[in-house]
Structure 1
Amino acid sequence: MMDRTHSIIAKLRVKPGERVKLKERDPRDSSLFGDEQDTKAATATLAEDIDVLQDSLYAEGSRALLVVLQGTDTSGKDGTIRSVFNATGPLGVSVTAFGTPTKTELAHDYLWRVHAACPRRGTIGIFNRSHYEDVLIAKVRNFASKKAIEQRYDQINAFEKMLVENGTTILKFMLHISKDEQKERLQERLDDPRKHWKFNPGDLEDRNYWDEYQGAYETMLHRCSTGHAPWYVIPADRKWVRNAAIASIVKATLEEMDPQYPKASWKPNDFAIP
C-alpha cells in the first residue's frame, strides 16, 4: 500500500515551477487503482486511519493540517469531504466554504477572510474553494486588474510559507474534471428534484469560460505549487478515484507529520477511582 501511495504522490504532485497542461492529464485516469469496489473499501479504511491520526494531532495540540479543495462547479468538493473525512471526529475538523465576499470582507485585503479561517493548532481545516478564487474567477471575470492578479501569486506563496513556518502543513488538491462530465453532473441536478437546490444558473454562464478557467488553473498550478505547499492534480471524473487519491495523500501526510499523544505528568497507579 505504501508503494502505491508513493506512486500516487509522484504522479499527481505538481513540481515547483512545472508547467501543467491539463489537456494532457486524463480526468478519468484510474491506472493507479485496481477494482472499483475494492478501492472504495480501501478508502473507507483510509478514512478510519485518518481519524486515528487526527485524534493524536488534536491531543498533541501544536500543529495543524490545512486541506485546500479547488475545482470547477460539480468537481466534487463536498463529496470529497463526505468520503475522506466522514469518520473524523468533529471536534478536530473545521470546514470553510468560501463564497462571494461580503461587504465587510471586501473592505479588507483578499486574504483577510482566509487567514481568519485557517485551522487552529491540533485540528484539520478544510477549505471548500479558497484564496485561489482570487487568481481564478477574479482573473477570468476581470474582478481585479492584471497587475493585482500578478502580485497575488507571490503574495499567496508568502502567506502559505508563513503558515507552514508557524506549524501548519498544507495540502492543495485541484479536482480535475472534464467538460463532458460537468455537463452530466449539471444535468443530474436538473433532473433530480432533490438536487435542485444545488443548481446555480450562474454555473452555465461559467461554462462559456471553460478554456479561460483551464488556462487560469494552469497558471495557478505553475506559479503556486511550492515545496512548502504543493498542488496535486486529482483525476475527478471518477468519484471513487478522486476519493481514494486524496485519502491516500492525506493519510501519508499525517503519518509523515507523526503527531504524538502528550505524556502525562502523573502515573495511572497514583490514583484510585472511588
Structure 2
Amino acid sequence: MISAANENSSSTYEPTVYTLLLTGMCLLLALFLLTRLLVALRNKNKLLAWSTGFYVLCLLWTGVRAAYWIIMSAQSSMRYLTLYLLYWSPTPIQFANFSLLILFYMQVLTGQEWRSKWRNVCLPLYLLLTMTMATFTVVWAFNSSNDISKAAQQGDEYDQEFSRVSDVSVQLKYSAFSFFLLSVLFGFFGWKMANVESWKRRRLLISRPRSLAVINSLLCFIFFTRGIRDLATSQSWFLSIWNNLDMNGRVTTVAYFVFFCFWEFLPTILLLCLISSKAGGVGGKQ
C-alpha cells in the first residue's frame, strides 16, 4: 500500500519498470478477452454459456487491475477509498470467477442431476457467497477510509497509521479465507475430475485428463500459497503489511513482480487454458 497525508496518498517518483510491465500485461489481457467476447457474439454463442461468464469475470478483474496500475502510474495522489476499492475488489471478483469453475465441474460430474437437483442448490449459494464477499469489501473500504480520514483530521499520526494497519489486516484475513476455500475446492474437485473412470470420460467430455489434473493441481497450490501469504502478512509474521509495495505505491523488487504474476496472472491464464477444449479438455464447444 501507500503512505498518505490527510485523506490522499501521495507519490513524488516515476513508476518503476515493474509497474509499467504490470499495466501493459493487464491491457494486453483485456484486449485478448475483448476479442474473445466479440468472437463469441459474432458466432451467436449463448450469453449464459459458461465460457461467456468466465470471459466477462476475467475482463472485469483485468479492468479493475489495469485501472489500479494506470492510476498509480499517472497520478501523484489518490483517495484512500479509491485506493482500497481498486486494490482489493479484484479478490471477490477472482473468487467469483474460480468458484464458477467449480460449479462447471459439478455440472460435468453430476450430469442430469445438475438440472434436476444441484443447480437449484448451488447457484443460489454461489450468488449469496459472492455477493456477500463483494459487499464486505465495499463496506470495509468505506469504513476504513473514513477511519483514516478522521484520524488525519485530528492530527494524530499514530492513530492514522494504526487505522491503516489494523484495517488492512482485517482485509488480508478475509482474503486468506477466500483463497484457502478455493484451494480446498480445487483440491477436492480436481481429485474427482482426475479419478473419473475411463469409460465415463467420453460421456463427460473429458478428453485430456492429464492436462486437466495438472491445471487443477497448480490452481490448488497457487491459492493455498496465496492464502498462506495473506494470513502471514495479516499477522506480521513476515514481509510487510503493505504487500511489498514501497511507500509511494511502486513495485520496486523483481520478487514482488514475480509473486504478483504467480498469484494474480497465472491463475487467470490457467483458467483461460482450461475453458479451451483443446488445452483443458473439458466440455464441448461453449
TM-score past 0.5 threshold: no
Higher strand share: 1
More contact order relative to length (CA 8 Å, sep ≥ 6): 1
| TM-score between the two structures when normalised by the length of structure 2 | 0.29
* Greater per-residue helix proportion: 2
The alignment's TM-score, normalised by the length of structure 1, stands at 0.30
